[in-house]
Amino acid sequence: MYNIKTPIKKLLSEEKSGFTTTVMGWVKTFRNNQFIALNDGSTNENIQIVAELGSFNDDLLKKINTGACIKATGHVIPSQGKGQAIEIKAETIEILGECDAEVFPLQPKKHSLEFLREIAHLRFRTKTFASVFRVRNSLSFAIHKFFNERDFIYVHTPIITASDAEGAGEMFKVTTLPLDGSAVGDDGNINYKDDFFGRSTNLTVSGQLEGELAATAFGNIYTFGPTFRAENSNTTRHLAEFWMIEPEMAFYDLEDNMNLAEEFIKYIISYALQNNADDINFLSERLKEEEKSKPEADRSMPLLEKLKFVLENNFERISYTEAIEILKNSNYNKKKKFNYLINEWGVDLQSEHERYLVEKHFKKPVIIYNYPKDIKSFYMRVNDDGKTVAAMDILAPGIGEIVGGSQREERLDVLLERMNSMNIPVKELDWYLDTRRFGTCVHSGFGLGFERMVQFVTGMTNIRDVIPFPRYPKSASF
């Protein structure tokens, strides 16, 4: 059996000595032809392998370069050096994969995040990205754990779909038709009858509508999968391909929805803090160093403080109308410190407004509910005032909106009226309307962009740094 090895994380956490073990990993440094710093990805910490002078031939030692992959078997002994409790005195060393130190891009020095994005296929091997993606893994597991403990059904909604849940129109088209223009008819329209699905299809922007179908049978469901937006947004906040968590719950009103979303956010952050303390501490220190170069007024809240800020506070709940009054009367608005001034009810809130409410005014996470219906989607339940819908957004420090959701419109006549007024194609969504025709009920749901949450927990400032292989305009490498 080849894979008989001990994870370095296990060895370092137990700090036991006096036994023989085997480790496999990648060389970080090799000092004095004797001391190998080895890492296997289980932790950011390296274990020291001591290759006693005279015990190994020169040809082998010349191949122990930064980036090389080796297998080492030896005796675990108390370390003589500082900063480590144990080390391994090597008995055998095997080169599993050589690495030319002259051309290997990751030298033992600090690299900029911009440079590492250019070699995204190798950035997993750095401490920063190893920590980020271990945290991402824990958050992903915590999401499934949270819903599984509450008896939610996990539903896989389609990636290829004929519907546009958001009515946004910014979609990637899916087709097998030739791109030479031969599929365009005399009337200038594309003839989809010869296409693979026989109709126009695209990559999904949301699994919500399909999720509602399942919720009206199972009660509580959630989706967790990739979604796509063809927005030409070359920013630190947008991706063309990202992952979404979208629970849908029958018999939940807006308050139930807010309660679950707050509980959910606190649960997954708490799980990451408990299971990735070393990684988050490392990322917290990295962020502190990064923030030192900024003016004090522009510095963000320290990472650990920000996470505890969410866990230790009950989220403040205010209506959109209350939020507008607070913003309109704030010194930031009166002194024109906002880029987008608040002058009237009905405007969409910007990130700067959301962060002001969280970080300056309430000093705690905030849930805003009952938004103007004219700035929200067709499926959100119209309130009795006829002006607002039972929508809610959760705002977090440093990032603004992190969750968006609503009570869904369960009344067929009201939903039809909304769809017609917003030019949503009723005929194409007839299957969706059946949930209102056959046993309709009060139901709600919300969506959380997974990468936005990973950003929040890791403190990374660019969303391209929290997904392994980012997709954005003019970039689809790997």
What domains appear along the chain, each with residue ranges and CATH number?
8-108 (2.40.50.140), 125-170+205-465 (3.30.930.10)
Model pTM above 0.75: yes
A 10 A CB-CB count for 373 gives: 23
Span 319-355, pLDDT tens digits: 999 999 999 999 999 999 999 999 999 999 999 999 9
Res 23 pLDDT > 60: yes
Fill in the amino acid letter for 77.
Answer: I
258 pLDDT band (50/70/90 cuts)? very high
Fill in the amino acid letter for 219.
Answer: G
Closest CA to 477 of 103, 117, 231: 117
Token pair, residue 342, equals 């608040």
Mean pLDDT, residues 457-466: 96
* Residue 355 near residue 398 (C-beta atoms within 8 A): yes
Average confidence score pLDDT of the chain: 94
* Residue 457 near residue 272 (C-beta atoms within 8 A): yes
Specify the higher pLDDT residue, 305 or 188.
305
Minimum mean pLDDT among 71-80, 81-90, 262-271, 304-313: which range? 81-90
How confident is the model at residue 1, as a pLDDT? 64
Burial class (CB in 10 A: 0-12, 13-18, 19+), 308: middle
How confident is the model at residue 168, as a pLDDT? 55
477 pLDDT band (50/70/90 cuts)? confident
Token pair, residue 15, equals 């700090």
For the chain, the C-alpha Rg in angstroms (whole number) is 27
Mean pLDDT, residues 379-395: 98
Mean pLDDT, residues 112-139: 95
The upper half-sphere exposure of residue 178, i.e. CA atoms within 13 Å in the direction of its Cβ, equals 6
Q: How far is CA 128 from CA 42, 43, 226, 278, 343, in A?
A: 13, 11, 24, 12, 43
Buried b vs exposed e over 62-92: b needs ≥16 C-beta within 10 Å?
A: ebbbbbbbbbbbbebeebeeeebebbbbbee
A 10 A CB-CB count for 307 gives: 22
Minimum mean pLDDT among 184-188, 395-399, 414-418: which range? 184-188
